Structure 1
Amino acid sequence: MAALLWLPWNSVLADEKNGELDIYFIDVEGGAATLLVTPAGESILIDSGYPDYGGRDLNRIVRVVKEVAGRTRIDKAIVSHWHLDHYGNHAALVSKVPVTAFYDRGIPEDLPEDKGFPERIALYRAASQNKSTALSPGDKLPLKNAETGRRVPQLTAEVVTSSGKTIPNEGPANPFASEHVAKPEDTSDNARSLSLLFKLGDFAFLTCGDLTWNTEQRLMSPNNPIGQVDLFMVTHHGLDVSNNPVLVKAIEPIATVTCNGPTKGGMLPVLKTLEAIPTLKAQFQLHRNIKLGDDVQPPPHRIANSSDTAECKGHYIKASVSPDGKQFRIQVEGQQPELFETRLSK
Structure 2
Amino acid sequence: MLRVFAAFLMVLVIGASSVSAGQGDGRFDLYFIDVEGGASTLLVTPGGESVLIDSGYPGYQNRDLDRILHVVRQVARLDHIDHAVVSHWHLDHYGNHAVLAANIPIRNFWDRGIPDDLQEDKQFLERITAYRAATQNASKRLKAGDEFTFPTAGTPLTVKVMTGSREVVPNSGEPNPFAAANQPQADDPSDNAASLSTLWTFGDFRFFTCGDLTWNVEAQLVTPRNPVGKVDLFMVTHHGLDVSNNPTLVHAIDPVVTVMCNGPTKGGGEQTLKTIAGVKSLKAAFQLHRNIKLAEDLQAKPSRIANTEPTVNCAGRWIKASVAPDGKSYTVQVGEDGPKESFETRGPADK
| Distance (whole Å) between structure 1 residues aligned to residue 175 and residue 79 of structure 2 | 45
Counterpart residue number, 1:337? 340
Q: Output the amino acid matched with 2:278.
A: A
Secondary structure of the structure 2 residue equivalent to 1:298: coil
Give 1:179-194 correspondences, 5 Å limit: 179-194=181-196
Q: Output the amino acid matched with 2:272.
A: V
Q: Once superposed, what is the RMSD of the aligned Cα atoms?
A: 1.0
Structure 2 portions without partners, runs of 5+ = 1-19
Counterpart residue number, 2:70? 63
Residues 20 and 38 in structure 1, CA contact (< 8 A), matched pair in contact too: yes
Cα distance per residue 1:300-326 (max 9 Å; x no partner): 100000000000000000000001110
Cα distance per residue 1:222-242 (max 9 Å; x no partner): 000110100000000000100
Counterpart residue number, 2:164? 162
Shift of 1:215: 0.3
From 97, 118, 132, the equivalent of 2:104 is 97
Structure 1 portions without partners, runs of 5+ = 1-12
Shift of 1:112: 1.1
From 131, 141, 147, the equivalent of 2:138 is 131
Secondary structure of the structure 2 residue equivalent to 1:16: coil
Cα distance per residue 1:143-189 (max 9 Å; x no partner): 43123xxxx22100000000000000111100000121111100000
| Distance (whole Å) between structure 2 residues aligned to residue 22 and residue 96 of structure 1 | 22
| Distance (whole Å) between structure 2 residues aligned to residue 342 and residue 27 of structure 1 | 25
Q: Output the amino acid matched with 1:105.
A: R
Q: Output the amino acid matched with 2:338.
A: Q
| Distance (whole Å) between structure 1 residues aligned to residue 147 and residue 58 of structure 2 | 29
| Distance (whole Å) between structure 1 residues aligned to residue 226 and residue 91 of structure 2 | 31
| Distance (whole Å) between structure 2 residues aligned to residue 245 and residue 295 of structure 1 | 20
Counterpart residue number, 2:229? 227
Shift of 1:15: 2.4
Secondary structure of the structure 2 residue equivalent to 1:45: strand
Secondary structure of the structure 1 residue equivalent to 2:303: helix
Secondary structure of the structure 2 residue equivalent to 1:204: strand
| Distance (whole Å) between structure 2 residues aligned to residue 138 and residue 258 of structure 1 | 25
Shift of 1:332: 0.2
From 185, 204, 207, the equivalent of 1:205 is 207
| Distance (whole Å) between structure 2 residues aligned to residue 14 and residue 272 of structure 1 | 36
Secondary structure of the structure 2 residue equivalent to 1:343: coil
Shift of 1:114: 0.3
Q: Output the amino acid matched with 2:229.
A: G
Residues 240 and 269 in structure 2, CA contact (< 8 A), matched pair in contact too: yes
Secondary structure of the structure 2 residue equivalent to 1:102: strand
Structure 1 runs of 4+ with >2 Å offset: none
Counterpart residue number, 1:146? 152
Residues 264 and 309 in structure 2, CA contact (< 8 A), matched pair in contact too: yes
Give me the identity figure in percent: 59
From 267, 270, 280, the equivalent of 1:278 is 280
| Distance (whole Å) between structure 1 residues aligned to residue 37 and residue 162 of structure 2 | 24
In the alignment of these two chains, the number of paired residues is 329
Cα distance per residue 1:3-62 (max 9 Å; x no partner): xxxxxxxxxx62211000000000000000000000110010000000000000000000
| Distance (whole Å) between structure 1 residues aligned to residue 120 and residue 279 of structure 2 | 35
Residues 21 and 322 in structure 1, CA contact (< 8 A), matched pair in contact too: yes
Q: TM-score, normalised by structure 2?
A: 0.92
Residues 14 and 22 in structure 1, CA contact (< 8 A), matched pair in contact too: no
Shift of 1:293: 1.2
Q: Output the amino acid matched with 1:47.
A: D
Q: Output the amino acid matched with 1:341.
A: E
Cα distance per residue 1:62-93 (max 9 Å; x no partner): 00000000000000000000000000000000
